[in-house]
Amino acid sequence: MKLNLILFSLLIVFALVKINAHHLYRVNHHALEIEKRKTIDLKDEQNQLLIEESSKSGNGRISEYAKSKLKMNPPDKKQKRVIK
């Protein structure tokens, strides 16, 4: 009878431990999923920034700014002089 009670108590304890472990697994898995999503978001952001960098550093944009804001123009043939 005593042994049965001990075994029954153990059974209850192990069952609770299993439930807790499963719960912890789910909590951690959820946290992992959030981190994975963050990774994807960061990858997307990196892509976005690369595209932005490429657009902003485009030769067309730079030459437009150089012409309009800095009043820079490529010299024509008459203005060029070869340095001997």
Partner 1 sequence: MRSKIKKNHEFFELSKFRRRFTLLVLLTLFCILFSRAFFLQGMQRDFLQQEGFERSNRNVELYAYRGKIYDRNNQILAASETVRSITMEPNRVEFKKGDKNKLANLLEVKIKFLNKKLKSKRNHIYLKRKVDPKIASKILALKIPGISTEKDYRRTYPDQEISAHVVGFSGNDGNGLEGVEYKKNNFLSGTHGYKKILIDARRRVVDNLSEVSVPVDGKDVHLTIDKRLQHIAFQALKKTINDSEAISGSAILIDSKTGEILTMVNYPSFNPNERMRMRSPFVKNRVITDAFEPGSTMKPISIAAALEKRVVNINTKIDTGNGYYKVGRTRITDTKPHGIISVKEVLQTSSNIGVAKIAEKMSKKYLWQTYSNFGIGNLTGANFPGESKGVMRDHDTWKKRDHASASYGYSVSTTVAQLARAYTPFANKGEIKNLRLFKNDPIKIGQRVLSIKTSEAVLKMMESVTEEGGTAIQASISGYRVAGKTGTARQFINKEVGYGKRGEMKYNASFVGLAPASNPKFIMAITIEDPSKGSNYGGVVAGPIFSRVVSEALKIYSIPQDEIEIKDEIGNEKKEI
Where do contacts with partner 1 occur on this chain (CB under 8 A)? Answer: 25-26, 29-30, 33, 40, 43-44, 47-48, 50-51, 54-55, 57-60, 63, 77, 80-82, 84
Give the DSSP H/E element, type plus range, for residue 11: helix 2-56
Q: How far is the CB of 57 from partner 1 (least distance, A)?
A: 8
Of 4 and 57, which has the nearer Cβ to partner 1? 57
Closer Cβ to partner 1, 14 or 26, answer by number: 26
Apex 41 CA angle, 35 and 44, nearest 5: 145
Return the number of the residue (57 or 68) whose C-beta is nearest partner 1.
Answer: 57
In 3D space, the residue among 49, 50, 74 whose CA is nearest the CA of residue 63 turns out to be 74
Dihedral angle of Cα 11, 16, 22, 28, to the nearest 10 degrees: -140
